[in-house]
Amino acid sequence: MKYKKIIIGIVVFIIAVICFYYFLYKAPIKNNPSNGTDIIAFGDSLIEGVGSTKGNDMVSLLSLKIGKPIINLGHSGDTTRDGVSRINELDNYNPKVVILLLGGNDYLKKLPIEETRKNLSYLIENIESRGAIVLLLGVRGGVIDDPFKKEFNSLSKTYNTAYVSDVLSGLIGNMKYMSDAVHPNDIGYSMITERIYPILKELIK
| Domain ranges, ordered by start, for the chain | 29-203
Is the pLDDT assigned to residue 20 strictly greater than 50? no
pLDDT for res 107: 95
Burial class (CB in 10 A: 0-12, 13-18, 19+), 88: exposed
- pLDDT for residue 2: 56
From the CB of residue 175, how many other CB atoms can be counted at a distance below 10 Å?
11
- State how far the Cα of 82 lies from the Cα of 79, in Å rounded to an integer: 5
Q: For the whole prediction, is pTM greater than 0.85?
A: yes
What is the tens place of the pLDDT at every residue in 100-146? 999 999 999 999 999 999 999 999 999 999 999 999 999 987 777 78
pLDDT of residue 22: 44
For residue 50, give the 3-state DSSP assignment.
coil
Residue 18: predicted pLDDT: 47
29-203: CATH class: alpha beta
pLDDT at residue 25 in the model: 47
- Residues 95, 84: Cα–Cα separation, whole Å: 17
Q: Quick check: 74 and 46 in contact, CB under 8 A?
A: yes
Report the 10 Å Cβ neighbour count for 12. Answer: 10
CB 83 within 8 A of CB 102: yes
- For 140-187, what is each residue's pLDDT tens digit? 877 777 889 999 999 999 999 999 999 999 999 999 999 999 999 999
pLDDT of residue 3: 57
Residue 62 has pLDDT above 90, yes or no: yes
With 60 as the cut, is the pLDDT of residue 78 above it? yes
Q: What is the mean pLDDT of the chain?
A: 91
- What percent of the chain has pLDDT above 90? 82
Q: Does 23 have pLDDT greater than 60? A: no
